Every structure is written in structure tokens, then in C-alpha cells.
Amino acid sequence: MGAEMASLAPGRAVGPYDSPMTRCLTRRVVPLCGLLTGLLAGQLPHVTSVAHAQPSPTRPRAVADEIVRQATSARLGNGSSLSDVAALSETDVWAVGQEGIWDVWQNRGVVTRWDGRSWTEVGARGDVTGVGPLRSISAVSATELWVVGDGHDGVPYIGKGGRGGFDRVIVPAVRGGDWLRAVAAQPGRVVTVGSRGGRSLIATGAGSWTATIGPAGALHGVALSGKDGWAVGDTGSRPLVMRLTGSGWKSVSVPAIKGGYLRDVYLQSAKRAVAVGGVFHGEEGIEPLILRWDGKRWTKDELPIAEAELYGVTGDGEGGFWASGYDPARPDEAFLVKFTGRRWEPLRGEPATSQRTVRLQAVTRIGDLTMAVGHVLDKANRYGDLVETFGPAAER
């Protein structure tokens, strides 16, 4: 996520999308700095997609059993990874990321669209400085999507567009040195979060743009639904959660979990939200962390696995939730956990025939389709983008 290393849990794994790194000598080198840290230590990510805001159900329902439908690639260039995904329908899915991870000068952000048959890249327009790694995408409609990431000019990149391409939006409230991790948009409002100078940052566009500086730390995920909104991150040692109120964004009480951090949030209704992340335990690894909001307080859920990293979360609007991540015990398999209405259960891809490490950075749910995106790192340290889709077992 980017501003100061203090906003990370001590020693926690980071990666090219997820490091509030100390600035390098020139801004063009920042993607490589984040990458090298990620290669040495691991990867963390995020996502906030259109699927992160859904109508309120009357009560949770059971989620049908799912299996892998397909494991494929968006066919990006060498050294590619996808960081976020947003679905408008099963034949209109958008993802963002980067390619050329290893090349400081050629590293660039990517927006790509799935039409139900194939992926097609959608370009950026009118920005001669170029677009760096893109971290998050949110869809209002087929003609209004928002993306955030890095600009090669030292100012965070905020873009708006659709199938015809994306244009950079100049936001005076965001300046050089700021770091943006996630975006959430709805008709008439867009919110992007990150950090500035070691403090959490929320930039809101609703006609004009304003910036809110919050507590020390960084925000990595944001979700909107109607008048409600949540933003999540960490202080550097504990989870950080902020809520949109009638008087603006305010920090709220969460379980005091030492070493805890949050990377994404899904907002279903005023009485139901889910945030995911982890708890850093030093040499003992990272414990997955899921907090749920019941309309009054955030509480910690029990999980079926003791060590894993969770990066993204989504839901179906009816009480089902999916979180994507990485399982170090089975690194070659795509890994998610899903809430079935009663408990969280693992959902895995198929094992590989050769050595690899799979990290699913983000996940979206639309209809009966669960789609997660991320990357594969092979034994030669080559990155490749990855798209895993899951669906009802009976439809395989």
C-alpha cells in the first residue's frame, strides 16, 4: 500500500501492490523497490470492487458447493500480476494490475476486460507520463469505472473510463508523495484511500474533492453502500477501521489485536460488513484475520486454518462471503475461504504439476460466478497473471 514502512505490521510480508515504502531517489524507481521487498518477504495485496456493496438480505442463506471452473490468464505481458477485480455481470468483468514487474522503465499499469470469452486490454488516454502499477478498480456502470495506482510522475494515478479507454483525473486534494491503495465508487461519489506522511488518507470526490487525514497508519481497503462506508487498514501494530458518518470519516473501536492488520472490506448493509487481513506472529508466520460487523460492533471470526494470508473479500449480498489469499502449506494451489452461512470453509484450486506459488489478490462474486485474480510465481521467479473461476459443482 505507500508512505512509510511504519504503517506495516513489523516484519510482515509485502509486495509490489502493498508496500508503503520509503521513497527511492526518484519516483520512477518505486515500483522496483516495492517489488524487491515483495520477492524477498512475500506478498500482500487488496481490492475493493463493485461487488463490495450489495443489497441487504433478510437473513444469511447457505452457499452452494463450488469447484474450479477454470484457471487461466488474462494474457498480459512478461512479469505480470493482477491486483483487483470488479464485475458488472458474468460477461462484463474488469481487472487491473501491472506488467513488466522486473523492468523499472517499462513497468506499467494494465486495465483489462472479460466479455465472457476472452480478455481485452483497455488503454489509458492523454497521460504522457505513463501509468504505473494499478492497485484497485471500482465499477459504477459499464461507462463509469474508477482505477487508482501510481503515476510515473510521482503523483498517484486516479483514472476514470470505460471500454473506450481511461482518462487521468486531476485531483488537487491528492499530491506527490501520497500513496493510494483502494477505490470505491457509486453514483455521485468516489472514495480512494491510502496514506500521507505516515497517516491514513481518505480522498472523496462528490462534485469537488476533499482530503481527510486520519490516525497514524495506512488504509488499504474501502467500501460504500448508500450512505454507509467503511475503510480499513492498520496503525503499524494493530487494525485500523474508519466509518463514514454524517459528519465525515471517524475511527471506530475494533478488537485490539497486536500485530493485526486489515487489507480489504466488503459492505453488505448497515448491519453487515466483513473485513479481512492477518495477524503477524514473527517467525511463526501470519494468522488469517476476519472481522465481522453486526450493526453494533466488530468481532473476530473463528477460521478453519491457522496460518494463511488474506488479501481480498467480496460477497453475494445474501449472506455469503469469499476471501482470497495464500496458503503457505499448499502454495501451488489457489486459496480462498468462503462463509457458508454458518462457518468459513476453504475453497481451493487444483494442485500444480510443477513448483509454483499462487497468490489471489482479489475476488468478486456475480451471479453463480466467483472470480479471483492474482499471480503465479514460478521456481525461476517469473511472475504471470492468474485468473481462477469457481462455480456450482453441478455445472462443471
Domain residue ranges of the chain, discontinuous segments joined by +: 5-395
What sections of the chain are H helices per DSSP? 30-41
For range 275-293, the mean pLDDT: 96
CA dihedral 25, 27, 31, 33 (to 10 degrees): 20
Measuring CA to CA, which residue among 137, 136, 134, 112 is closest to residue 123?
Answer: 112
Compute the distance between CA of residue 359 and CA of residue 256 in angstroms, rounded to an integer: 27
Burial 3-34 (b: 16+ CB within 10 A, else e): bbebbbbeebbbbbbbbbbebeeebbebbbbb
β-pairing verdict for 208-216 and 218-225:
unpaired
Per-residue DSSP letters for 163-185? TTEEEEPP-TTS-TT-EEEEEEE
pLDDT band at 93 (very low <50, low <70, confident <90, very high): very high
pLDDT reading at 30 higher than 60: no
Give the single-character DSSP code of 95: E
Question: Pick the residue with more confidence: 238 or 126?
Answer: 238
- Lowest mean pLDDT, pick from 129-133, 180-184, 328-332, 388-392: 129-133
For range 280-305, the mean pLDDT: 96
Percent of the chain at pLDDT > 70 equals: 83
> What is the tens place of the pLDDT at every residue in 191-219?
999 999 999 999 999 889 999 999 999 99
Decide if 139 contacts 50 (C-beta within 8 A): yes
Q: Categorise residue 322: left if φ over 0, alpha if ψ from -120 to 50, beta otherwise.
A: beta
pLDDT reading at 63 higher than 70: no
Adjacency order of strands within the sheet including 108-114? 81-89, 92-99, 108-114, 119-122
Q: 5-395 has which CATH code?
A: 2.130.10.10
Compute the distance between CA of residue 1 and CA of residue 133 in angstroms, rounded to an integer: 11
- The whole model's pTM is what? 0.85
Burial 67-79 (b: 16+ CB within 10 A, else e): ebbebeebebbeb
Burial class of residue 336 (count of CB atoms within 10 Å of its CB; 0-12, 13-18, 19+): buried
pLDDT band at 70 (very low <50, low <70, confident <90, very high): confident
C-alpha cell at position 330: 499448499
SS3 content of the chain, % helix, strand, coil (to 5): 5, 55, 40
